Structures are given as structure tokens and as C-alpha cells.
Amino acid sequence: MMIPAKPTRWVYRLKIGEEPFGEIMGSVMRTYHPKGSPPLNRNEWNGMPARSCSIQRVSLGAATEGKLQIEIEYRPKDWVSFVGDTKYVGWTAYMLNRSPEGVLLDSDGNPLADGEQPVLLPYDVYDDIDFNNLEFGMLIEEIPCDQDEDVAFDDIVRRIERSGHFKMGAATPVSVLHRYRPSVMILISDNPTGQIRGGFGELIQNINSETPHLKQAVAEVVLTLVRGYLEGRYDMSVLQGADVFMLDLSKLLVDARGKESRFECLLEFLPQGFLNELARRIASRYMLQARVVTGNSFGLLLEFEEHK
């Protein structure tokens, strides 16, 4: 089997015996989830490297035609994903090296020098077993798990033009909104860090320009504001068509340090690759899919899943 370039899920079905359901499922869980959580492959399996595949789900019932269905997910070792706020690279969890007080630390446990990259500590949270000793049955489906290619802003505009429907401005795509939802922005200035209210009631998150690890601080504020928007607490700028919903982040930050303020400069104050991480973070928490939009305007293309 060729090694996929992106996360892939394989669905197998295995014919099983006629024992009572409870006995069968007890045996299944002891075999495929021996410690109660999805295990990884301890060594090479089907051409896939060790600790690259996980038995994510086992199920049995009418929907599986009376056969045991086993779903195995492969992740490249450098693939970044999120479960809540926890970052994973492959199947290894990574967390910021912080003191109990929240201070960023270097690899030696000392306060991180300004301008240095934050240190992520790896944690192996999954056990492993030998997949080669297990039966999986017949492969019935192969499913790509991640469709995160960036989208060009010009393509968004063309899709809106074709739809015949256009809306631009502040909007929040949730079913229950807060009655008061201020629009939000980030200001980089020489003033103390904190929240202030603008003349039109907008919420301005000021970040002092001398803040240590400024890019990390800005990234954390952006994440907080986008979550607040998705949860109906804030308004943010969107570009919307009949089948398009783009959250426009290009005007979110203003750099007010000089004699003249600079606009549309958010990307200068973000860590490299942050927008891709942001898309994956919110997709792991909310019922939506998110892709990065690049171009003259940039942000996130959101596709909302129906509530079930």
C-alpha cells in the first residue's frame, strides 16, 4: 500500500461469530481497544510507518450489515491537527512550555527570551499494539480525512458573483446570538495592554508594542476573538454569498505605533502558519469546516455543518 500524503481513513469489515452481542463487543474492545482508547500501530503495518495509524472506531450493527466495522486513520508524522486546544503533530500531542504562572519557558526551563520561538513539549498520549497480529477483514472504503487547501480570494469573489447573492459587513452565523455584539479590532500601540471601547461601542483589544513575544500575544487574541464571533458574542467583517461565507480578517488589526496608523497588516504580527492552525483549531471545536483564504483580502472560508 502506498503511503498517502495526507490523513486517510480506511474502513474494513470483518465477519464475526454468532455469540451474544455483549460477549462479542467485550472481546472486540479487548482486542482492538485493549486499554479503552484508540491504539497506534507499534511497528510497520501495510507499509505504513510505526505509530502512524490508529484504530479510531469499531462498530457493529444493522448499519454494518452484521459485520464488525473497523476504521483506521493514518496521519503523516508532520501533519498538524488540533483536539480542542491541544496541538498534535502526527499522533503526538504538543503543549507550550509554560510555568505554572503562565510564563513561556525555553527548553532549559528559563523564561523565554523575547524574539525566541515558543517551545512545544511532546507528549505520547496513545498506547500502541501490533496491528500485524490482528484481523481487519476486507477493505471497503478509503476516505481522505483532510481537505485544507488554501482558497484564493479572487475565487471567493467569482463564486459570489455566480451565486447572485452578496452581503458584506458584520454578521454572526449562529442560531442564538447575544443581544449586544460589539464589533472587534486589535490595536498595537504604546499604551498599556487592555480592552477599551471605541466611539461607536466597538471593543478594541490594545496590545502594548513592547509585549514580550508579541506575535504569540497577537495570535492568542485573534483566536479568542474568532471564538467569540462563532459563539455569537462579537461581530466581525464577513463576505457572504448564497453558498459562501468568508470571515474577513484582513482589517482586524491596526498598527498605531507611528505618526500614521497602518491598516491591513495583521499577517506581519502573526507567527508563520498561524492561519492554517487557526482553521484547524476552530474546526476541531465547532461544527464547521474551515479553509484559509489568501489574496488581497484574507481570512477563513467557513462551511457550517447541519445540526443533527
pLDDT in tens, 212-268: 899 999 999 999 999 999 998 999 998 887 777 899 999 999 999 988 999 999 999
Confidence label for 161 from pLDDT (cuts 50, 70 and 90)? confident
pLDDT above 90 (res 158) = no
Confidence label for 305 from pLDDT (cuts 50, 70 and 90)? confident
Q: Among all chains, which residue has been given the C-alpha cell 469546516?
A: 289
Confidence label for 139 from pLDDT (cuts 50, 70 and 90)? very high
The answer as to whether 113 is a domain residue is: yes
More confident residue, 135 or 241: 135
Query: What's residue 287's pLDDT?
Result: 87
Express as a percent the part of the chain with pLDDT over 70: 89
- The boundaries of the domain holding residue 213 are 151-304
Same domain, 132 and 118: no
Query: What's residue 198's pLDDT?
Result: 87
User: pTM of the entire structure?
Assistant: 0.70
Same domain, 119 and 234: no
The answer as to whether 240 is a domain residue is: yes
Residue whose C-alpha is closest to residue 301's, from 227, 221, 243: 243
Distance CA 207, CA 115 (A): 16
* HEC assignment per residue over the chain: CCCCCCCEEEEEEECCCCCCHHHHHHHHHHHHCCCCCCCEECCCECCECCCCEEEEEEEECHHHCCCEEEEEEECCCCCEEEECCEEEECCEEEEECECCCCCEECCCCCECCCCCCCCEEEECCCCEECHHHCCCCEEEEEEECCCCCCEEHHHHHHHHHHHCCCEEEEECCCCCCCCCCCEEEEEEECCCCEEEECCCCCEEEEEECCCCCHHHHHHHHHHHHHHHHHCCCCEEEEEECCCCEEEECCCCEEECCCCCCEECCHHHHCCCCHHHHHHHHHHHHCCEEEEEEECCCCEEEEEECCCC
Distance CA 228, CA 245 (A): 17
Same domain, 15 and 58: yes
Same domain, 294 and 181: yes
167 DSSP β-pair partners: 240
Same domain, 243 and 271: yes
Same domain, 111 and 249: no
The tally of domains found in the chain comes to 3
The pLDDT tens digits for 74-87 are 999 999 888 877 88
Same domain, 25 and 72: yes
Residue whose C-alpha is closest to residue 257's, from 249, 245, 269, 248: 269
The answer as to whether 1 is a domain residue is: no
The answer as to whether 85 is a domain residue is: no
Find the distance separating the first CA and the last CA of the chain, reported in whole Å.
36
Same domain, 64 and 207: no
Query: What's residue 64's pLDDT?
Result: 65
Same domain, 117 and 132: no
Distance CA 129, CA 115 (A): 42
Same domain, 257 and 299: yes
Query: What's residue 124's pLDDT?
Result: 93
The pLDDT tens digits for 6-24 are 899 999 999 887 766 667 7
Distance CA 7, CA 147 (A): 9
| Other Cβ atoms closer than 10 A to 61 | 11
C-alpha cell at 56: 479510531
Query: What's residue 114's pLDDT?
Result: 84
Query: What's residue 134's pLDDT?
Result: 95
More confident residue, 158 or 44: 44
The answer as to whether 3 is a domain residue is: no
The answer as to whether 245 is a domain residue is: yes
Distance CA 8, CA 74 (A): 5
The answer as to whether 2 is a domain residue is: no
Same domain, 101 and 15: no
Same domain, 258 and 295: yes
Asked whether the beta carbons of 152 and 293 are under 8 A apart, the reply is: yes
The answer as to whether 132 is a domain residue is: yes
Inter-axis angle of helices 274-285 and 214-230, nearest 10: 30
What's the mean pLDDT in 287-307?
87
